[in-house]
Amino acid sequence: MFFSVRDLELRKVEFDTSFPPGKIDFLDPNLHQQGDLRTRGSVELLSHTLGELRVKGHLAVSMTAPCDRCLEAAVSHIDSDFDLFYEPASIAVEQEEVELGEGETEIGYYEGDGIELGEVLREFVILAMPMQKLCQAECKGICPVCGQNRNLTACHCEVKPADDRWAVLKNL
Ligand SMILES: [Zn+2]
Ligand SMILES: [Zn+2]
């Protein structure tokens, strides 16, 4: 779904749509969309700016990515409001290296004469993915000795206590 600046000059455009899996390319072979991504909101051209666009709305989607511990699919439900600002990429070149002050909204850029909703949503979903992805909170992970998924098989390997220095790093 593409919103052209020319249309936005006339009026704010509302959307209420869904993207089936595969419609948005998440550029990561490990990241998969489960079921439809549903979204509604609006795109507006902000007055008194050099073509700044505001994309605001709500998005709900379930994504799967490999579990950090056992590599089986871990589902992340994203159900979130978004309020994003985009400037023409041509302006970005002039404003290179501008540091954002605290509390300032991070601004994205769009190329050409408009903005593609699928690309906006892709970026938002990638950023909204949790840092830690687990198939279940109590995932037992893969046995470092025999390599079995310990959620499925209770092996009886003797695992030496982890070196504390590494344990600290893992918890970061
Ligand atoms: Zn797991
Ligand atoms: Zn084992």
Domain ranges of the chain: 2-138, 140-172
Q: Which two tokens stand for residue 145?
A: 């000795």
Bridge partner residues of 32 (DSSP): 64
Neighbours of ion ligand 1 (CB under 5 A): 67, 69-70, 135, 139
Neighbours of 34 (CB within 10 A): 14
Q: What's the pLDDT at 165?
A: 65
Neighbours of ion ligand 2 (CB under 5 A): 143, 145-146, 155, 157
Distance 76 CA to ligand 2 centre (A): 28
Q: Which two tokens stand for residue 6?
A: 């020319």
| pTM (predicted TM-score) | 0.79
Q: Nearest bound ligand to CA 69?
A: 1
Q: How far is CA 10 from CA 13, 15, 53, in A?
A: 9, 16, 13
pLDDT tens sequence across 34-52: 999 999 999 999 988 889 9
Distance 160 CA to ligand 2 centre (A): 12
Q: What is the three-class DSSP state of 68?
A: coil
- Residues 6+ positions from 113 with CB-CB distance below 8 Å: 4, 5, 6
Q: What's the pLDDT at 130?
A: 92
The mean pLDDT value for 118-143 works out to 94
Q: What's the pLDDT at 10?
A: 93
Q: Nearest bound ligand to CA 140?
A: 1
The model's confidence at residue 132, banded by pLDDT at 50, 70 and 90, is very high
DSSP strand pairing (107-110 vs 73-88): parallel
How is the beta sheet containing 107-110 ordered, strand by strand?
13-19, 32-45, 53-66, 73-88, 107-110
Distance 165 CA to ligand 2 centre (A): 23
pLDDT tens sequence across 74-126: 999 999 999 999 999 887 666 555 555 555 567 889 988 999 999 999 999 99
Q: What's the pLDDT at 137?
A: 93
- Residue bearing the bigger pLDDT, 49 or 67: 67
